């Protein structure tokens, strides 16, 4: 059986704890890999390697850092199919979706290659007689990232390229459910010339996470995952004096106004709700149909859903794959049956779906729930599966009140032909990312990703300018080079003239 170990100090390191976790192929339900689960001592070894590497990497030139990142970008692009295959084998998403994940990670590597632009600093000359003031940004030291199962290569690439370009060294703890693609990134970074210890990868569970959160040599922690864990990460790490960006869960609404192009809206709802089997924090999980849009929109979504091909991710014909684990599959199914019991109309029920020849896989079909209310569990909770709820409102005002009452504020979208309505929505809605006729408004690499309310804990979004600011700290340097004629003693308060 294949074993995924750790990557510490620029080389593979076998697990020493004696603890291993299973890694399943979601399409077959079979375990083909095991992953070493790090002890606290193994985490300490990774942090020590990063701390030692920081002594030279932290003072290296921007040119040296970006040269490595340019090469790393080339290698990731060249190996994108291999990385996507690893993602599909462990996550289950279809190959095209996995390739898209790698492409979005490459965007952030490209931003890291251009980081000298973000680190230029500021200079004010002659603020007082022969006095200049410079504002500069410097690295933090050793930083850590804890990443989720649903984007096993993209989210790590949202973190460590920016961090190391800023001069930090990095300890990555990927999800133990999908460890192989992150490990491959570590190998490619070494091949690109990244010095030993600058990027370290420790696989593990709560033991590893807790040690990272309390380790005195870690200056900052980045996290993407569920809201309860994000809250715990933020509370624990800040209590230990660390800077934290912790991105949590979501319940993303797509508002459809009566004037919208319903063909476009139906396509968008299918893509955003059922892509990657709904295992996205930016998935649309609620369509808010205003006025008389509900019936025709549901009719169009239903017709499109009937044509979806669900199957193994490595089958080119498949458009949607399985869920990550059997337990998660059962949990998602429980929301569909629960919604029916609470009064929702089940238009499509995917709970009994299976794939011939892959009966042991973690399969579920697409589900569509109509006449959902805000009191139902299917509306209140983050399902993280291919379940789309439709809530009907009479007016735009009711719809915006519904959306803004959510405890989450990650992403949202409006579908309309009315520019005034779209402008009003983008100003009034309480969410960190807004799409206008765009169902999944994930920002490009040079803007920052992050939500509001219980979708984000901490002050910084991820990547973009926020990412640069998170992984650096500001310093202001005031300099005076006296004229040779200056001198003498003056005990008065310095004056600005």
DSSP-based three-state secondary structure for 132: strand
Give residues with Cβ within 8 angstroms of 30, minimum separation 6: 24, 360
The pLDDT, as a whole number, for residue 482 is 81
Q: Whole-angstrom Cα distance, residue 53 to residue 157? A: 20
What pLDDT, in 10s, does the model give residues 58-76? Answer: 999 999 999 999 999 999 9
DSSP 436: E
**Model confidence at 491: pLDDT above 80:** no
To the nearest 10 degrees (0 to 180), the angle between helices 95-113 and 80-91 is 130
What pLDDT, in 10s, does the model give residues 386-436? Answer: 999 999 999 999 999 999 999 999 999 999 999 999 999 999 999 999 999
What pLDDT, in 10s, does the model give residues 31-62? Answer: 999 999 999 999 999 999 999 999 999 999 99
Q: Which of 401, 378, 381 is nearest to 390 (CA)?
A: 378
To the nearest 10 degrees (0 to 180), the angle between helices 154-165 and 95-113 is 10
Encode 228-237: b = buried (16+ Cβ within 10 Å), e = exposed.
ebbebbbebb
The pLDDT, as a whole number, for residue 492 is 75
pLDDT grade for 486, boundaries at 50, 70 and 90: low
pLDDT grade for 490, boundaries at 50, 70 and 90: confident
**Model confidence at 494: pLDDT above 70:** no
Contact 138, 167 (CB under 8 A): yes
What pLDDT, in 10s, does the model give residues 256-294? Answer: 999 999 999 999 999 999 999 999 999 999 999 999 999
Overall average pLDDT of the 221-241 stretch? 98
Overall average pLDDT of the 370-379 stretch? 98
Residues known to be catalytic: 281
Overall average pLDDT of the 455-474 stretch? 96
pTM for this one?
0.95
Distances (CA, A) of 396 to 242, 393, 412, 430, 435: 42, 8, 14, 15, 16
The helix (H) or strand (E) run that includes residue 222 is strand 218-224
- Average pLDDT, whole number, for the chain? 96
pLDDT grade for 489, boundaries at 50, 70 and 90: confident
pLDDT grade for 223, boundaries at 50, 70 and 90: very high
């Amino acid at each position: 059986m294949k074993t995924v170990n750790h990557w510490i100090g620029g080389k593979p390191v076998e697990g020493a704890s004696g603890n291993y976790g299973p890694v399943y192929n979601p399409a077959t339900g079979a375990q083909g890999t095991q992953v070493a689960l790090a002890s606290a001592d193994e985490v300490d070894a990774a942090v020590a390697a990063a701390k030692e590497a920081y002594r030279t990497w932290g003072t290296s030139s921007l040119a040296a850092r970006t040269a490595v990142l340019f090469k790393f970008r080339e290698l990731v692009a060249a190996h994108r199919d291999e990385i996507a295959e690893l993602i599909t084998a462990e996550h289950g998403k279809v190959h095209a979706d996995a390739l898209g994940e790698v492409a979005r990670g490459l965007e952030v590597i490209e931003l890291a290659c251009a980081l000298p632009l973000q680190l230029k600093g500021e200079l004010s000359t002659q603020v007082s007689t022969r006095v200049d003031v410079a504002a500069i940004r410097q690295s933090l030291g050793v930083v850590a990232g804890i990443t989720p199962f649903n984007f096993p290569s993209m989210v790590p690439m949202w973190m460590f390229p920016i961090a190391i370009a800023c001069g930090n060294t990095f300890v990555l703890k990927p999800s133990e459910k999908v460890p192989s693609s992150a490990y491959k990134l570590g190998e490619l970074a070494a091949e690109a010339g990244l010095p030993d210890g600058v990027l370290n990868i420790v696989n593990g569970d709560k033991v590893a996470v807790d040690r990272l959160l309390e380790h005195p040599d870690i200056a900052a922690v980045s996290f993407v995952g569920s809201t309860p864990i994000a809250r715990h990460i933020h509370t624990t790490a800040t209590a230990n004096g660390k800077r934290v960006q912790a991105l949590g869960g979501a319940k993303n609404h797509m508002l459809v106004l009566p004037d919208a192009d319903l063909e476009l809206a139906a396509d968008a709802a299918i893509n955003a709700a059922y892509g990657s089997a709904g295992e996205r924090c930016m998935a649309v999980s609620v369509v808010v149909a205003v006025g008389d849009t509900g019936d025709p929109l549901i009719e169009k979504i239903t017709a499109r859903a009937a044509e979806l091909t669900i199957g193994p991710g490595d089958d080119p014909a498949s458009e949607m794959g399985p869920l990550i684990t059997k337990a998660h599959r059962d949990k998602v199914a429980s929301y569909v049956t629960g919604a029916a019991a609470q009064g929702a109309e089940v238009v499509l029920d995917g709970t009994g779906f299976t794939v011939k020849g892959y009966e042991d896989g973690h399969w579920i079909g697409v589900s569509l729930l109509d006449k959902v209310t805000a009191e139902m569990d299917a509306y209140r909770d983050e399902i993280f599966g291919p379940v789309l709820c439709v809530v009907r409102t009479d007016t735009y005002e009711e719809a915006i009140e519904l959306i803004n009452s959510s405890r989450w504020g990650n992403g949202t979208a409006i579908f309309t032909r009315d520019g005034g309505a779209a402008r009003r929505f983008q100003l009034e809605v309480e969410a960190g990312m807004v799409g206008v006729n765009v169902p999944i408004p994930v920002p490009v690499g040079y803007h920052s990703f992050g939500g509001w309310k219980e979708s984000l804990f901490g002050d910084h979004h991820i990547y973009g300018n926020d990412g640069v600011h998170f992984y650096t700290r500001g310093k202001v340097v005031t300099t005076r080079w006296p004229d040779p004629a200056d001198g003498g003693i003056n005990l008065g308060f310095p004056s600005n003239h």
